Amino acid sequence: MTPMGRALVTGASRGIGRAVALELGAMGFEVLVNFRTEAAKAAQVCDAIVASGGRAVPVGFDVTDADDVARALAPYLDAPEGIDVLVCNAGVTCDGLFIGMDHEAWDRPIRTALDGFYHVARPIVRGMAKRRRGRVVVLSSVSGITGNPGQVNYSAAKAGLIGATKALARELAARNVIVNCVAPGLIDTDMSADAPRDALLAAIPMRRIGRPEEVAKVVCFLCGDAPSYLTGQVIAVDGGLT
Ligand code: NDP
């Protein structure tokens, strides 16, 4: 454990999660770098943190699998120091028009976002509430704020996370555990690689795509320097879109 404490970032093998893990490592947290399939990429993230003088451990689990999450987190949940910071970042899209959407496509983003939140956040915030300190940041999306055509499933999942964040923030405020959402707009990662970028850029006042590091800065502010009076909020990082 480092003096800053321990942070878990789900889906940290690439994209926004990777940028958050690197930044938390630089801030002095011991980072648990979660991956689902990309063990080698998670190991690279850990190596980069360690090479800069930090501490990091890859932790493999699928957030949709309750048993897998419980097995992987057990050593950390049982430790007296527990987990101080949780970033619920893992997410997937499964785009298509609603009228042609089969149930598996409907369910995947919702399972990953909402079941994933339930499986990972519940045991961790239990420890935070006991220790009377902790910070949780949840990655939502502007799709969950405004809705996005072709993403009825994903918009529902990400709006659900906003509701969950606000309710949990109220449950835990008196225990000094703060819970906030970050809602990115269009960010340059694998997830947005197939998006119709030119059409989307026209709607973004800043006329450019965001960088994962720009989202990570806001996430890490909420994990670190943000006052504990800031809870239950949704901060969009979207170039002025919303
Ligand atoms: P990427 O697709 O680049 O990365 C997603 C990450 O989530 C990967 O590390 C992936 O792991 C992991 N993941 C997916 N499913 C699971 C699972 N079941 N269990 C554990 N890990 C899982 O996405 P981004 O970095 O772009 O997105 C990060 C977050 O930000 C997501 O919640 C996304 O919805 C949100 N967001 C992104 C936007 C964008 O424009 N990029 C815009 C708005 C919100 P693996 O490699 O093993 O699949």
| Banded pLDDT at 196 (limits 50, 70, 90) | confident
State residue 109's pLDDT score. Answer: 98
Q: What is the dihedral of CA 190, 199, 241, 232, to 10 degrees?
A: -40
The alpha carbon of 162 and the centre of ligand 1 are apart by a number of angstroms equal to 17
> Which of 32, 64, 89, when mutated, tests ligand 1's pocket best, judged by the most ligand atoms within 8 Å of its CB?
89
Tokens of 10: 């789900």
With a 6 Å cutoff on the Cβ, whether 189 touches ligand 1 is yes
Q: Annotated catalytic, 229?
A: no
The alpha carbon of 136 and the centre of ligand 1 are apart by a number of angstroms equal to 17
> Which of 23, 92, 143, 165, when mutated, tests ligand 1's pocket best, judged by the most ligand atoms within 8 Å of its CB?
92
Q: For the segment 2-60, what is each residue's pLDDT rounded down to a tens digit? A: 678 999 999 999 999 999 999 999 999 999 999 999 999 999 999 999 999 999 999 99
The alpha carbon of 92 and the centre of ligand 1 are apart by a number of angstroms equal to 6
- Within 13 Å, how many C-alpha atoms sit on residue 182's CB side? 27
With a 6 Å cutoff on the Cβ, whether 15 touches ligand 1 is yes
CB within 8 Å of 60: residues ≥ 6 apart: 34, 35, 36, 39, 42, 72
Q: Is 139 helix (H, G, I), strand (E, B) or coil?
A: strand
Tokens of 163: 């509701």
Number of H helices, E strands in the chain: 9, 7
| Banded pLDDT at 1 (limits 50, 70, 90) | low
**Measured between alpha carbons, how far is 45 from 49 in angstroms, rounded to an integer?**
6
Q: For the segment 216-239, what is each residue's pLDDT rounded down to a tens digit? A: 999 999 999 999 999 999 999 999
Q: For the segment 118-173, what is each residue's pLDDT rounded down to a tens digit? A: 999 999 999 999 999 999 999 999 999 999 999 999 999 999 999 999 999 999 99
